[in-house]
Amino acid sequence: MNAYTILRHFHLTTLFYLPLILGFLVCCGEPTGSSSPEDEHSFLLKRAASLELDTDYSPPPGDSMHHHASGFAKILCSAVFVTGLDAEFAAENIGYFTSPYTTRALMNGYEIDHARKEVRVTTEDGTIRVARYLGDQGCVCLPIDNPVIYFRPIEVKSQLPPPESTAWPMGDVTRIEDIPAGLDYSIVQRAVDTAFRDPEGMTAAFVVTWKGHIIGERYREGLDRHTRLESWSMGKSLTATLIGVLIQQGVYTLDQPAPIPEWQTPGDARSDIRISDILRMSSGLRFRAPQDPDYDPSQGYPDHLYVYTGSVNSFQYAANRPQQWPPNSVGRYRNSDPVLANYLIRLGAESMGEDYLSFPQKHLFDKVGVRDMVMETDPYGNFLLQGYEFGTARDWARLGNLYLNDGVINSERILPEGFVDFVSTVAPAWEADGRPIYGGFFWINTEKDFPVPKEAYYMAGAGGQYTIIIPSHDLVIVKLSHYKGAARSRIDLENALALLLRTVPESRSR
């Protein structure tokens, strides 16, 4: 029996739905606090209504089931050709975000074409959605009416020396004698093992660094430090990092109006949206997302997912959405903003005369020791770093340590002074909404979502992906999971964090 047959005949129970719902709430940062959820919900809606502008909205075009099939094809393609997973395992356990588990059962099957490096998913009405593997650009969802791509894929070459002969963090060589003294490493090992305690949590990778050194590391059977795993919205934090690189290089400033070409017509109110507003998820664009407090599925397929599955020019689509609120007034977790930030990355890189597809490797990854990151695109070659990227646990740890070190590595400043403070400080619009949990494409532990200091901040992705930065303790913790186990792996992660904080002393003033 293949995975499709299992999905079609498997009846989900309440016990299965519950952890998925909890995991969704966790990964999307739903607010916590003393007030009731009803009070918070009412406040969010009333405040947003008082600021809303009179603009029209049109939902994404196309059939939602065709979009789900596109998401499923891409998830399978990346799982098989990027991560190296078995297709049936992936169909059962990976990437429910753009292709819900229950929706997969409504498809008429999938085909893995290893010769063409394609995945084809067929819907009940006979429509076929195709995802194709493009090498260093990963997998791309092809347009439904004309299954082609509109850019030339390239090989992205790192200039770093071989990792097996280069010391961490620029390579993979770690030595016992380099591990700092002063910890009870038996507790550290207990913490690592705790992250894998529940097999149904499906933790895939766990890495702990202290003062920049790897002090704990473990992988699920069949995976290792070279395995590139789905990372989902941790890519938003990577997007912020690339914007920071361009700011450091003098291309942009945080407070300048975002030079999106579609907004430059005289009188266009969107021309007032600053780069900082975009990074803070407070551009105010009308862009429906499942995380919206007033989200209604009956109103059509959400824009938030369409920029993954629509096989359109995602940059143009997001740039042409109307304004719903004035910028920097309402905080909403919507993919319009990371998509537009990636638009700015493309515009900025090309303004420097740089090749866009290789810009991240040359100007960021080679600086911090990252060799294995795969960043996927739409059919027009635009990075979809709102969630379509695959990295190793060690690579996310490298990026986390760049922030722990205030944007400096090997005595070179990669991120501008003050940028780390910017991303790790609560965004004003989110503060005004009564949800002091979001900064600049990073989540903030203000309300103690994790059992670590409230000053900690973190990258987070759907399905249980985290890179947690704890400056007060010089810690970076990376946990990657397979989507199905998100809620249960979260429990193990919290217990592991509590153990780590028992043995790692506070080393910086808060």
Give the pLDDT of residue 17.
Answer: 33
Tokens 């909404």 belong to residue: 433
Average pLDDT, the chain: 92
At residue 177 the predicted structure's pLDDT band, cuts being 50, 70 and 90, is confident
Pick from 261, 351, 278, 181: nearest CA to 287: 278
Region 256-278: mean pLDDT is 97
What is the reported pLDDT for 35? 62
Give pLDDT, residue 510: 59
**Rounded Cα gap, residues 67 and 437, in angstroms:** 31
Token pair listed for 276: 């900082």
User: Which tens digit of pLDDT belongs to each residue from 6-25?
Assistant: 333 332 222 233 333 333 34
Please state the rounded mean pLDDT for residues 280-309: 96
**Alpha carbon distance 111, 87 (integer Å):** 9
Tokens of 196: 């894998």
Cis peptide before 327 (omega within 30 of 0): no
What does the alpha-carbon distance between residue 457 and residue 471 come to, in Å, rounded to a whole number? 9
Token pair listed for 282: 């407070």
Helix (H) or strand (E) holding 486: helix 486-503
Does position 29 have pLDDT exceeding 60, yes or no?
Answer: no
Q: 226: buried, middle or exposed (CB in 10 Å: 19+, 13-18, 0-12)?
A: middle
Return d(Cα 276, Cα 42) in angstroms, integer. Answer: 27
CA–CA distance, 61 with 310 (Å, rounded to integer): 9
Cα separation, 246 vs 268, whole angstroms:
25
pLDDT at 10: 31
Give 125-168 pLDDT, tens digit per residue: 999 999 999 999 999 999 998 999 999 999 999 999 999 999 99
For 95-129, how does the pLDDT look when each residue is reduced to its tens digit (9 = 90+)?
A: 999 999 999 999 999 999 999 999 999 999 999 99
Asked if residues 148 and 163 have their Cβ atoms less than 8 Å apart, the reply is no
Percent of the chain topping pLDDT 90: 89
Percent of the chain with pLDDT over 70: 93
User: Mean pLDDT over residues 382-392, rounded?
Assistant: 98
Q: What pLDDT band is residue 252 in, cutting at 50, 70 and 90?
A: very high
Tell me the mean pLDDT in the region 379-400. 98
Total-model pTM: 0.93
The CA-to-CA distance between both ends of the chain, in Å, stands at 55
pLDDT digit string (tens) for 411-458? 999 999 999 999 999 999 999 999 999 999 999 999 999 999 999 999
Between the alpha carbon of residue 49 and those of residues 46, 324, 326, the distances in Å are 5, 10, 12
- Find how far residue 146's CA is from the centre of its chain: 28
